[in-house]
Amino acid sequence: IRRLRRLDGEPAAVEEIWLDASRAERLEREDLSESLYLHYRLALGFSVVRAEDSIAVAPAPDWAPAEFKPQPGTVVGFIERIAWAGDGASVEYSRTWFDPGVARYVTRFR
């Protein structure tokens, strides 16, 4: 899954997300919502109960849409996340590049 995230309508981050294929044979763009974890719970039958984030800086990816203001290759904030389901299995890996001029990283996981 690749997507552009916004804060107050302003492009703030681009994400690249991999979901364990054993959890869903196929994902359709029109079935997904902004809340992937809600989709996982309601449509796929599992919940993410734990996540670990690693924060660094990295060049913005070359696939980012033009709306994402940092040009490809510009160093921006970078987050790698691994998420686990209630059964203890690692179910998701994601990478997020964020524009530090628009957003700062805050995590809340409840």
Question: Is 107 part of a structural domain of the chain?
Answer: no
The pLDDT tens digits for 5-21 are 999 999 999 999 999 99
Is 107 exposed, middle or buried (CB count within 10 Å of its CB: 0-12, 13-18, 19+)? Answer: exposed
Average predicted confidence (pLDDT) for the chain: 93
Do 94 and 81 meet the contact criterion of CB atoms below 8 Å apart?
yes
Question: Is 103 part of a structural domain of the chain?
Answer: no
What's 36's domain CATH number?
A: 3.40.1410.10
- What does the CA dihedral 67, 24, 52, 5 come to, rounded to 10 degrees? 10
Confidence of residue 110 (pLDDT cuts 50, 70, 90): low
Question: Is 21 part of a structural domain of the chain?
Answer: yes
3-state helix, strand, coil in the chain (%, to 5): 15, 45, 45
Confidence of residue 30 (pLDDT cuts 50, 70, 90): confident
Give 54's strand partners. 80
How many domains are there within the chain?
A: 1
Question: Is 109 part of a structural domain of the chain?
Answer: no
Question: Is 108 part of a structural domain of the chain?
Answer: no
Q: What is the pTM of this model?
A: 0.90
CA separation for the pair 23, 60 (Å, rounded): 29
- Residues with Cβ within 8 Å of 27's Cβ and at least 6 positions away in sequence, in order, are 1, 19
What share of the chain in percent tops pLDDT 90?
79
The pLDDT tens digits for 38-73 are 989 998 999 999 999 999 999 999 999 999 999 999
The number of residues making up the chain comes to 110
